[in-house]
Amino acid sequence: MSEVYSTIEKNKNRLNLDPNQAIWLFGYGSIIFKVDFEYLEAKKAYLNGFERRFWMASEDHRGTPESPGRVLTLQERRQAKCFGMAYRIDHKVLDALDLREQNGYLRYLKSVSFADGSAHDALVYIGDKTTRIYQEEHDVKTLAELIFNSVGPSGQNKDYVYELAQALRDLNEPDEYIFELEACLRKLEEIE
């Protein structure tokens, strides 16, 4: 059985954040539809130069060490634009977020843009490419089969995709990759 690759301590020392200042957090995955933390303000936002990918093995949320599921990370791509939600949070919320994102995610500060044209630096959790749990899979059908069969403490892996797809529809922010993956999963459900 493998152990969680914890990034909690690494993240605490990673960025020089002022504990007395509220900061923006950019969510591009489950943080869009599962907001289990206090925030001061929430806005639709986007991050230029990145796209979502289910390239992080999940042994602690959407899978197990024996049968890892997949969760999102961001992949750099020049012309990409990743829509999500930005939350202005107090520094005290970071400990809970670091725990939630502990399995292979590192904190970064990236400039996010808002609908009104303004921009602000925001904290973004991005998967650490140097760890064994970072696993690129470019074939969406292969990825869908893996996700379809994975279950972990946070539930069925496919529900993560379904909830995110619906949240993006509710925000009126389509994501071709997520919608294609969702369609592949729905086809697998029809076969079963």
Tens digit of each residue's pLDDT (9 = 90 or more) over 122-160: 999 999 998 889 999 999 999 999 999 999 999 999 999
Domain membership of residue 81 (yes or no) is yes
| Number of folded domains that form the chain | 1
Domain membership of residue 115 (yes or no) is yes
Domain membership of residue 116 (yes or no) is yes
Domain membership of residue 159 (yes or no) is yes
Q: What is the pLDDT of residues 160-191, one digit of tens each?
A: 999 999 999 999 999 999 999 999 999 999 98
What sign does the CA torsion over 36, 50, 15, 62 have? Answer: positive
From 41, 101, 136, 173, active-site residue: 101
Domain membership of residue 2 (yes or no) is no
Say if residues 45 and 84 touch (Cβ distance below 8 Å): yes
Cα separations in angstroms, 20 against 16, 17, 109, 190: 12, 9, 17, 52
Per the structure, the complete domain to which residue 84 belongs is given by 8-191
Domain membership of residue 3 (yes or no) is no
Q: What is the pLDDT of residues 3-39, one digit of tens each?
A: 556 776 776 777 778 888 999 999 999 999 999 999 9
CATH number at residue 88: 3.10.490.10
Can you tell me the mean pLDDT for 72-93?
96
Domain membership of residue 1 (yes or no) is no
CB atoms within 10 A of CB 131: 16
Active-site residue, 101 included: yes
What does pTM read for this prediction? 0.91
